[in-house]
C-alpha cells in the first residue's frame, strides 16, 4: 500500500514547464502578445513578435499560455512550437511543426525537406496559425523565417535571449520581418519570484508544508530566474518527501538551490558525446586552458581524435549549452568551466 504524501500534493505543478491557470507579474507582456495575435481571430493579419530576455523570465511559458487561451476562443486556430537550438535545420523545424499541427508523418531519412514544406502549407491552408520559434537565433536556414513572414495568416512568435537576435540575418529576411513587435521580459525581482513560488506551493504542496521565509531564501538566490526557483522548490519538496518529513526544512532548501543549478548542467552533460566529454574533463582538470594545449591533451587522450575544426565546433556547442566559457580571441583565448 502506498503511504500518503507528506509534502507534495500535485507534482506536476512543481515543474517549470507546467502552465498555471493564471500568470503572475507578466500582465503587460501577456496583454501585448494577445493584442498582436488577436487579429488572427477575424481573418486579420497578426503582428509578428520577438520575445526577448534572459533565461527563466517566462518567454516560452507566456507565449504558450496566450496561444492556449486563444485556441479556447477559436477552435479553428492551429499552432506549433519548435526549439531551434535542438532542431535547427529546415527539415527538423517543419518536421516538429507538422507533429504539433497533428499531422502524422512517417520519418524516412530520404524525405526531401520541400515535401515537408508542401505538406505543411496544405495542412495550414487558409486557417489562422501560430508558430513559436524558441531560440530563434540558432536557426540554420533563414528561409524558414522568410516563408512564415510571407504568410499573412500565420503569426510568428520568435523567442531569444537578446533583442539583437535578428540583426545577423540578411537584409531580405530582416525586411520581411519589418514591423515585428519586440516584447521585453526583464528578470523577475526577488519578490516576484516569491509570488510565483507561492502560487505553486498553493496548488502543488500540502498546507503548511513550507514556510514563507523559505520561499524568500529561494527568491534571493535564484538570480531572477523562475526556472531555477521552481526547480529548487521541487527538489526540496522531493527530498522532504523522501525523508517523510511534513515540512520542508531550511537545510533542505539550502541544499536544493545548488542542486537546481546542477540539474541544468548535468542534463546538458548527458547530451555530450565521448569527444565532447573528454574536452569537458580536460577543461575541468585545468580550470583554465589555452586552445593549443587543450587540443594536444585531447588528441593524446582519445585514440581517434577529431580534426581541429571539429573540436572548435564542439567547443562552441558546449559554450552555448553554458557548460564552458571562453575569454579572449584567437590563440589568446582561454577556455574554462562555466562558473
Q: What cell was used for 337?
A: 568551466
What gap in Å lies between CA 301 and CA 294, rounded to an integer?
Answer: 11
Pair 58, 226: CB distance under 8 Å = yes
Q: Which stretch binds DNA (CB under 7 A): 12-20, 72-80, 208-216, 325-333?
A: 325-333
Contact window for DNA (CB under 7 A) among 87-95, 96-104, 174-182, 240-248:
87-95
With respect to DNA, which residue has the nearer C-beta, 153 or 299? 299
Restricting to residues 55-74, name those near DNA by CB under 7 A. none
Cell of 199: 502560487
Task: Show the cell assigned to 227.
Answer: 526556472
**Using rule CB under 7 A, residue 89 touches DNA:** yes
Residue 87 in contact with residue 93, Cβ under 8 Å?
yes
Binding-residue pattern over the window 114 to 143 for DNA, x denoting contact by CB under 7 A: x-----------------------------
108 touches DNA by CB under 7 A: yes
Using the minimum distance from each CB to DNA, give the nearer residue, 77 or 315.
Answer: 315
Backbone angles phi, psi at 132, to 5 degrees: -105, 120
CB 305 to DNA: min, Å = 8
* 333 belongs to the binding site for DNA (CB under 7 A): yes
Give the 3-state secondary structure percentages of the chain, helix then strand then coil, rounded to 5: 55, 10, 35
Residue 164 interacting with DNA (CB under 7 A): no
Nearest approach, Cβ of residue 168 and DNA (Å): 8
The yes or no reply on residue 271 touching DNA (CB under 7 A) is: no
Residue 1 grid cell? 500500500
Q: By the 8 A CB rule, do 229 and 219 touch?
A: yes
Terminal C-alpha separation, the chain? 45
Residue with smaller CB distance to DNA, 178 or 329: 329
Should residue 287 be labelled a site residue for DNA when binding is judged by CB under 7 A? no
Cα–Cα distance for residue pair 207/198, rounded to 1 Å: 11
Q: For binding to DNA (CB under 7 A), which residues are involved?
A: 89-92, 106, 108-114, 273, 290-292, 295, 306-310, 312-313, 315-316, 329-333
Amino acid at each position: 500500500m502506498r503511504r500518503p504524501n507528506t509534502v507534495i500534493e500535485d507534482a506536476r505543478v512543481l515543474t517549470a514547464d507546467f502552465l498555471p491557470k493564471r500568470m503572475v507579474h507578466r500582465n503587460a507582456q501577456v496583454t501585448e502578445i494577445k493584442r498582436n495575435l488577436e487579429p488572427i481571430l477575424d481573418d486579420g493579419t497578426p503582428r509578428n513578435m520577438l520575445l526577448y530576455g534572459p533565461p527563466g523570465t517566462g518567454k516560452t511559458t507566456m507565449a504558450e499560455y496566450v496561444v492556449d487561451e486563444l485556441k479556447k476562443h477559436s477552435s479553428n486556430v492551429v499552432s506549433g512550437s519548435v526549439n531551434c537550438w535542438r532542431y535547427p535545420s529546415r527539415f527538423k523545424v517543419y518536421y516538429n511543426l507538422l507533429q504539433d499541427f497533428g499531422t502524422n508523418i512517417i520519418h524516412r531519412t530520404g524525405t526531401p525537406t520541400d515535401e515537408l514544406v508542401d505538406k505543411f502549407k496544405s495542412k495550414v491552408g487558409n486557417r489562422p496559425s501560430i508558430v513559436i520559434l524558441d531560440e530563434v537565433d540558432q536557426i540554420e536556414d533563414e528561409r524558414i523565417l522568410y516563408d512564415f513572414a510571407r504568410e499573412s495568416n500565420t503569426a510568428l512568435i520568435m523567442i531569444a535571449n537578446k533583442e539583437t537576435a535578428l540583426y545577423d540575418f540578411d537584409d531580405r529576411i530582416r525586411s520581411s520581418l519589418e514591423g515585428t513587435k519586440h516584447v521585453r521580459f526583464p528578470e523577475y525581482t526577488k519578490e516576484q519570484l516569491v509570488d510565483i513560488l507561492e502560487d505553486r506551493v498553493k496548488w502543488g504542496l500540502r498546507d503548511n508544508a513550507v514556510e514563507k521565509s523559505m520561499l524568500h531564501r529561494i527568491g534571493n538566490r535564484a538570480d531572477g530566474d523562475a526556472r531555477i526557483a521552481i526547480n529548487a522548490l521541487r527538489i526540496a519538496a522531493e527530498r522532504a518527501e523522501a525523508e517523510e518529513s511534513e515540512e520542508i526544512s531550511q537545510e533542505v532548501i539550502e541544499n536544493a538551490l545548488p542542486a537546481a543549478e546542477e540539474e541544468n548542467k548535468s542534463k546538458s552533460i548527458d547530451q555530450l558525446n565521448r569527444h565532447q566529454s573528454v574536452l569537458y574533463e580536460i577543461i575541468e582538470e585545468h580550470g583554465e586552458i589555452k586552445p593549443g594545449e587543450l587540443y594536444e591533451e585531447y588528441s593524446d587522450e582519445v585514440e581517434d581524435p577529431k580534426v581541429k575544426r571539429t573540436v572548435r565546433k564542439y567547443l562552441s556547442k558546449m559554450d552555448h549549452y553554458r557548460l564552458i566559457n571562453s575569454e579572449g580571441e584567437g590563440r589568446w583565448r582561454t577556455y574554462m568551466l562555466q562558473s
